[in-house]
């Protein structure tokens, strides 16, 4: 009898755990503005021929073209495509993909790739540098953030 109760307890604990995980999985979403509802209407709207033309344009940008247009307008401005050149003082590496440079524009964190990280690994803080960078604009929740990315850097 005790073994049967113990088995029911274990089974019910597993059932509760699985149900809780399913509930959390369905409730979690990266979309904070509720646009999750738009794919559902487009799927139901695609069943009717009259709604299909309206659903297709909204479904196509959501499916594959949305990341490109969002990235393109943010990368399309002349500032993002144009490389800028500056000089300053290398203050050190923040982490594997970021460095800090003090320049006439101010103290900024710049993103770097692995090749530049390897190049800077033996540089001392306070070294005078000349560098080229580009600005990527990242659109977020109602704001645009500028990301400074080093394309080349050399000691002066």
Q: What is the pLDDT of residues 86-123, one digit of tens each?
A: 999 999 999 989 999 999 999 999 999 999 999 998 99
Locate tokens 């580009």: which residue? 134
Max Cα-Cα span within the chain: 83
pLDDT number for residue 23: 61
pLDDT number for residue 4: 57
Which among 94, 100, 80 has a CA at the least distance from the CA of 144? Answer: 80
pLDDT number for residue 17: 72
Backbone angles phi, psi at 77, to 5 degrees: -55, 150
Which among 124, 119, 151 has a CA at the least distance from the CA of 135? Answer: 151
Which tens digits make up the pLDDT trace of 2-41?
A: 555 565 666 677 677 766 666 666 665 555 555 454 444 4
pLDDT number for residue 22: 60
Contact (CB, 8 A) for 126 and 91 = yes
More confident residue, 2 or 153: 153
Number of Cβ atoms within 10 Å of the Cβ of 148: 18
Which among 128, 66, 74 has a CA at the least distance from the CA of 101? Answer: 128
93 φ/ψ sector (left φ>0, alpha ψ -120 to 50, else beta): beta
Which among 82, 146, 139, 81 has a CA at the least distance from the CA of 111? Answer: 146
pLDDT number for residue 27: 60
Which among 151, 147, 87 has a CA at the least distance from the CA of 119? Answer: 151
pTM across the whole model: 0.49
Which tens digits make up the pLDDT trace of 50-69?
A: 444 444 444 444 444 444 44
Number of Cβ atoms within 10 Å of the Cβ of 55: 19
Read off the pLDDT of each residue in 116-141 and give the average, rounded to a whole number.
93
pLDDT number for residue 107: 96
pLDDT number for residue 129: 96
Asked if pLDDT for residue 137 goes beyond 70, the answer is yes
């Amino acid at each position: 009898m005790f073994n049967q109760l113990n088995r029911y307890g274990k089974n019910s604990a597993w059932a509760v755990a699985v149900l809780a995980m399913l509930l959390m999985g369905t409730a979690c979403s990266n979309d904070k503005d509720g646009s999750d509802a738009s794919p559902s209407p487009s799927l139901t709207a695609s069943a009717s021929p009259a709604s299909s033309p309206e659903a297709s344009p909204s479904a196509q940008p959501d499916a594959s073209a949305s990341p490109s247009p969002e990235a393109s307008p943010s990368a399309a401005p002349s500032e993002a495509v144009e490389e800028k050149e500056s000089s300053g003082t290398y203050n050190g590496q923040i982490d594997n993909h970021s460095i800090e440079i003090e320049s006439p524009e101010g103290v900024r964190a710049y993103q770097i790739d692995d090749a530049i990280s390897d190049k800077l690994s033996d540089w001392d803080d306070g070294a005078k540098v000349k560098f080229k960078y580009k600005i990527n604009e990242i659109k977020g929740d109602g704001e645009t953030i500028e990301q400074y990315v080093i394309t080349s850097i050399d000691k002066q």
